[in-house]
């Protein structure tokens, strides 16, 4: 029995050392490294197509004609992946998100395939049977420098290397996304599909970004104003982008200037740079996602992103920056589960906020053992 325990201890110690070694090697490797594992000497056709894209992507939504023709062609399924920790805060959001994923997956116009929660806590949790989950190892202590988001690209590297992903495309989503309707594969012709963020401004920060995207790689406009989510991209392309995304993130965090300039969106800039370094352009869809309370109508949006707090007085007037008489803010539930049947907003509050709360309420009412 003692020999068995000694052998198990040796295995665990060796595994931890191997993981740390791989991270250190990756972090010090060239930013243009290929995906770790068996080499693929010939780039995929999707990557080649993206590399030849030399003009800025068009910001648009699919036309009626493209939507109607989608049923005539074979489906191009994508796999939805969401990174998360095992905190209560991330967990309740993931459970709500997965509830709505299942509701939308099999509806008409959907090209949604499988789903994976990439759990970067390093160990299983009690929701493995409820949500399809891949357990990734976190970065070694201290490597994230207090910026936990650095675990996201490293988690994707592990998942892409180790998991058996049947679909040819990946949809990178987040726990605080609620799917309003089924999502088709918005990527086209080797280009990814992404949401343009107004605060990602490559041109404004060209001097800083040139440290990571040298002039020989092309104009700064090759860097799209995106983060890694929401993005739909070819699986082969992401396998190349992910290690670079991880390395650029770590390099930016270590650089005092980029760390100060980019702050909490540093990892978003890193993904945009990594995508550009590999010649993968993106079609920018303004209506891919809406963000209450600033977006007041749902329109053609596929996703509600509830990153901002929603504060209103009882007359339905926004009191942003001041706690409202009525409010919904995900940060109110960082250490506790949101209760079932949250109170609905007062009259006059925009439909995006009303829909958000109703959808959270439906999910929590139907998810077994909510709050346990």
Q: At 283, give phi and psi (nearest 5°).
A: -80, 130
315 pLDDT more than 80: yes
Query: What are the residues facing 84 on neighbouring strands?
Result: 119
Same-domain check for residues 184 and 312: no
Under the banding of pLDDT at 50, 70 and 90, the label for residue 11 is very low
Same-domain check for residues 278 and 312: no
Give domain status of residue 308, yes or no: yes
Same-domain check for residues 183 and 315: no
What is the DSSP code (8-state) at residue 3? H
Count of domains observed in the chain: 2
Which DSSP string corresponds to 151-192? Answer: HHHHHHHHHHHHS---SSEEEEE-TTEEE-S------BTTBE
What is the pLDDT, as a whole number, of residue 73? 62
Q: Supply the range of the domain harboring residue 193.
A: 78-284
Same-domain check for residues 232 and 302: no
Are the C-beta atoms of residues 89 and 335 closer than 8 Å to each other? yes
- Between CA 225 and CA 187 the distance in angstroms is 16
Same-domain check for residues 273 and 354: no
Same-domain check for residues 231 and 82: yes
Q: Which domain-ending residue is among 268, 284, 300?
A: 284
Q: Which domain-ending residue is among 241, 257, 284?
A: 284
Same-domain check for residues 229 and 107: yes
Give domain status of residue 50, yes or no: no
Nearest alpha-carbon partner for 334 in 91, 82, 97: 91
Q: Is the peptide bond before 293 cis (omega within 30 degrees of 0)?
A: yes
- Between CA 268 and CA 296 the distance in angstroms is 25
The upper half-sphere exposure of residue 248, i.e. CA atoms within 13 Å in the direction of its Cβ, equals 30
357 pLDDT more than 90: yes
3 state SS of 308:
coil
**Each residue of 63-100: pLDDT tens digit?**
433 444 444 468 999 999 999 999 999 999 999 999 99
What is the pLDDT, as a whole number, of residue 334? 96
Q: What mean pLDDT do residues 134-162 have?
A: 94
3-state helix, strand, coil in the chain (%, to 5): 40, 15, 45
**Each residue of 253-310: pLDDT tens digit?**
999 999 999 999 999 999 999 999 999 999 999 999 999 999 999 999 999 999 999 9
């Amino acid at each position: 029995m003692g020999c068995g325990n000694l052998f198990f201890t040796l295995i665990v110690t060796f595994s931890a050392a191997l993981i740390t070694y791989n991270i250190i090697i990756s972090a010090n490797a060239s930013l243009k490294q290929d995906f770790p594992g068996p080499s693929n000497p010939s780039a995929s056709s999707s990557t080649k197509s993206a590399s030849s894209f030399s003009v800025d992507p068009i910001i648009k939504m699919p036309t009626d004609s493209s939507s109607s023709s989608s049923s005539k062609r074979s489906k191009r399924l994508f796999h939805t992946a969401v990174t998360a920790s095992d905190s209560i805060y991330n967990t309740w959001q993931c459970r709500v998100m997965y509830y709505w994923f299942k509701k939308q997956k099999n509806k008409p116009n959907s090209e949604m395939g499988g789903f994976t929660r990439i759990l970067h806590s390093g160990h299983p949790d009690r929701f493995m049977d409820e949500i399809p989950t891949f357990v990734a190892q976190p970065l070694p202590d201290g490597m994230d420098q207090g910026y936990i988001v650095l675990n996201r690209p490293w988690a994707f590297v592990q998942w892409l290397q180790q998991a058996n992903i049947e679909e040819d495309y990946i949809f990178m989503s987040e726990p605080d996304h609620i799917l309003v309707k089924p999502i088709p594969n918005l990527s086209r012709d080797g280009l990814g599909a992404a949401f343009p963020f107004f605060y990602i401004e490559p041109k404004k920060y060209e001097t800083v970004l040139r440290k990571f995207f040298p002039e020989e790689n092309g104009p700064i406009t090759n860097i799209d104003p995106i983060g890694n989510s929401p993005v739909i991209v070819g699986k082969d392309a992401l396998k190349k982008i992910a290690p670079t995304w991880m390395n650029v993130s770590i390099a930016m965090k270590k650089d005092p200037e980029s760390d100060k300039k980019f702050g909490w969106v540093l990892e978003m800039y890193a993904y945009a740079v990594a995508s550009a370094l590999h010649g993968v352009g993106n079609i920018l869809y303004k209506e891919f996602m809406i963000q209450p309370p600033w977006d007041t109508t749902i329109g053609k949006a596929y996703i509600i992103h509830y990153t901002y707090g929603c504060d209103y007085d009882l007359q339905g007037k926004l009191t942003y920056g001041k706690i409202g008489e009525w409010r919904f803010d995900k940060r109110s539930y960082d250490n506790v589960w949101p209760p079932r049947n949250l109170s609905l907003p007062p009259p006059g509050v925009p439909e995006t906020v009303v829909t958000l709360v109703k959808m959270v309420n439906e999910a929590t009412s139907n998810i077994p053992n909510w709050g346990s």
